[in-house]
Amino acid sequence: MIDFEAPKPIAQQSFALTTVAENMMRPVSRYFDEQEHEIPWDYINFMHMAMRATGAGSLAPRKRKPKEGEEKKKYPPIGYQSLAFLLETLSWGDVGLYLCTPGGGVGAAAIEATGTPEQKQKFLARFATDKPTFGAMAMTESQAGSDTSAIRTTAILDEETDEWVLNGEKIFVTGGHKSLVDSDGLVVIWATIDPEAGRAGMRSFVIEAGTPGCQVTKLEHKMGIRASDTVSLVMQDCRVPFENILGSPEVVRRPRSKTGFKGAMQTFDATRPLVAATGIGVARASLDLVKEMLAQQGVSIRYGLPRQKLTNIEREVIDMEVMLRSAWLLVIKAVWMADNKLPNTREASMSKVRAGDVVNRITQKALELMGPIGYNRDHLLEKWFRDAKITDIYEGTGQINRLIVARNILGFHGRDLR
């Protein structure tokens, strides 16, 4: 049975992270929004030490431990649930700064989804060192956004040296600069080893920082999440060891191959609910500010009255709360399924769609309700409005995730419903 209440360890963690959000993130939120590409090392170093001390943020599912004298029984894993609460709270503080939190990120999720046990042990150990380390994933190309089958980056095996040679360009890589330039991190690159095989020929490769032939060529200037770097990468005769291919190099020419396109989708099934959680954090921040400013003006929300007896602003606030809670319940269901190793493709995409829609509607409505106060730069509301849109874009746009949900419900393949 799904428990929608936060387990005690997660509740305690969320309380501690709220303190971080209020005291370390909010005070510098505007500064790092305006100083795009300046790295928030104070936040990064603090979070690195805190996460190492507590184990928070690990992608490995954790189990509740019984108290002394308590009857021993099997406790469900709470790894992804823990991450969802962590990410929601940090994004309530500042989603751009959250994206600078050290750790494996989506890169580690890809390794978890498609790597062998030996690869997981080798590459994930990189994020447990004394220095902050970052991971990223690179899939998008100029001609291959939502249509991943159009990827042109190639990986060819040089049998003489037993190395893969990668050539191509990736764009919109979140955290790519921190992963390859600012730390001894890694990027998981999706490439094709057999262009004629389409998606079945897709494979992921780990490129570690310092690998010759892989270069950051552009830092994007963005509307939102400006504290986080987004880059373009170019691979030019970039050589990686044979064992850096995640999963099997064998091309299985059938739609359900577990090593190619399906491996990418397994990564997204794990991370899309977490992306949704970040959007919900931004939406909650906006709603909290609206309610705080209304309270300062003596406006209280009279819960429990029929709608016809409420003022318009009371109805608006209650509607925003309903949207926020419904989106959060979808996230909780999706991460609960991930923790229990249940197929969650539909639920992951549903949570991403709903959160992307809700965060944009709530931040826009908050601006409308606050009028000029919300639009000026004295408060962070206009920043949250700019930060909100990315939730609907990265890790699969809202349109693509709606297609995934529709195909899943109707039992169609991608070729049947576009």
- The angle at the Cα of 400, spanning 395 to 405, to the nearest 5 degrees, equals 105
Pair 149, 201: CB distance under 8 Å: no
Ramachandran angles phi, psi of 324, nearest 5°? -65, -45
Dihedral through CA 53, CA 6, CA 67, CA 69, nearest 10?
Answer: 180
Closest CA to 274 of 221, 342, 344: 344
Dihedral-angle region of residue 164 (phi above 0 means left; psi in -120 to 50 means alpha; beta otherwise): beta
Give yes or no: 160 in active site.
Answer: no
Strand partners, 138: 189
Which entry of 88, 112, 347, 395 is annotated as an active-site residue? 395
Distance CA 56, CA 84 (A): 11
Distance CA 30, CA 34 (A): 6
Which segments of 99-202 does DSSP mark as H helices, in order?
105-114, 117-124, 176-180
Pair 222, 230: CB distance under 8 Å: yes
Pair 358, 279: CB distance under 8 Å: yes
Say which DSSP state 78 is in: -
Active site residues: 395
